Amino acid sequence: MPKLDASTHQALARELHDAERSRTPVMQFSRRYPEMTIADSYAISQAWLALKFAEGRRVIGHKIGLTSRAMQVAAQITEPDHGTLLDDMLVADGATLEASRFIVPRLEVELAFILAKPLKGPGVTLFDVLDATAWVTPALELIDGRIELFDRDTKAPRKVFDTIADNAANAAVILGGRPVKPDAIDLRWAGALLYRNGVIEESGLSAAVLNHPGNGIAWLANKLGAFDEGLQAGEIVLAGSFTRPVACAAGDVFHADYGPLGAIGVRFV
């Protein structure tokens, strides 16, 4: 249950909105409001979305985060989190991005599911997800922090309450490579090598995402179903990273090699 009132949710959402524009992160919400709950965090993210909708933005999909066991232990939670993808977050493969657009940009390696059918819980299973998916394609998620990663005074890392309130730290998504039908390969063994300036910084297999990346999609459909919401046909759903985040800076060139699924590239200036 929320512990903060609606006016506080809206005020904190406005702080996030302003932080994104000024490229200046705000103090951790969890430090300022230690009584806040996960419900408060999602309410703040919804209030932030309302500001975006008022500016003409539209939903193109969703993202799932904290899908690996290691990340959940680090965040002291027992389930993933989720955020919303907006139309201005979609970046073309091979794009050049200005690093100064972001605060602390980092890249994660993922698979994206493109839905052909809607999914709504309860009771959505992995098999329902595979049946509803038109294509699975390589994806890079650019995450950013509108809330301080480390507290300015105590240096304590931000908590999951902060990350969820910050739309699960989403900033952009890059799709590329070779799209495949969900039954074309064993998605658990889809892997990638992430190069930064010609050096492999990260590698991994998508089985690290809840044993199968489609399990995250099922979790999200069931989570949203509890609020009478669901995933829509045509939406992009990022299944969760199977590598650690890699920092980005002006001058960096990234190349994500997914083997038989192709590659994605992006450059920062």
Three-state helix/strand/coil letters over 148-200: CCECCCCCCECCHHHHHHCHHHEEEEEECCCCECCCCCCHHHCEEEEEECCEE
The stretches of 101-159 forming alpha helices (DSSP H) are: 126-132
Task: Label residue 74 by pLDDT band (50, 70, 90).
Answer: low
Of 46-50, 86-90, 108-112, 152-156, least confident by mean pLDDT is: 152-156
Instruction: Between 177 and 79, name the one with better pLDDT.
Output: 177
Answer whether 203's CB lies under 8 Å from 191's CB: yes
State the Cα angle at 246 between 241 and 247, rounded to 5°: 140
Q: What is the pTM of this model?
A: 0.94
Q: Does position 227 have pLDDT exceeding 90, yes or no?
A: no
> For 258, phi and psi rounded to 5 degrees?
-100, 20
Q: What is the pLDDT of residues 52-61, one digit of tens each?
A: 999 999 999 9
Q: Does position 246 have pLDDT exceeding 60, yes or no?
A: yes
Residue matched to tokens 């985060």: 65
Q: What is the pLDDT of residues 119-154, one digit of tens each?
A: 999 999 999 999 999 999 999 999 999 999 889 899
Look at residue 192 in the predicted model and tell me its pLDDT: 97
Burial of 32 per CB tally in 10 Å (0-12, 13-18, 19+): exposed
Mean pLDDT across the chain: 94
The beta-strand segments (E) located in the chain are 59-65, 81-86, 90-91, 96-97, 106-115, 133-143, 170-175, 191-196, 199-205, 236-238, 246-247, 253-257, 263-268
Answer whether 217's CB lies under 8 Å from 232's CB: no
Task: Label residue 77 by pLDDT band (50, 70, 90).
Answer: low
Residues 205-210 have a mean pLDDT of 93
CATH tag for 59-268 (out of 3.40.630.10, 3.30.465.10, 3.90.850.10, 3.90.1170.40): 3.90.850.10
Residues 79-97 have a mean pLDDT of 94
Answer whether 171's CB lies under 8 Å from 252's CB: no
Task: Label residue 65 by pLDDT band (50, 70, 90).
Answer: confident
CA-to-CA distance for 28 and 39, rounded, in angstroms?
16
Of 68-72, 86-90, 136-140, 228-232, least confident by mean pLDDT is: 68-72
Look at residue 70 in the predicted model and tell me its pLDDT: 57
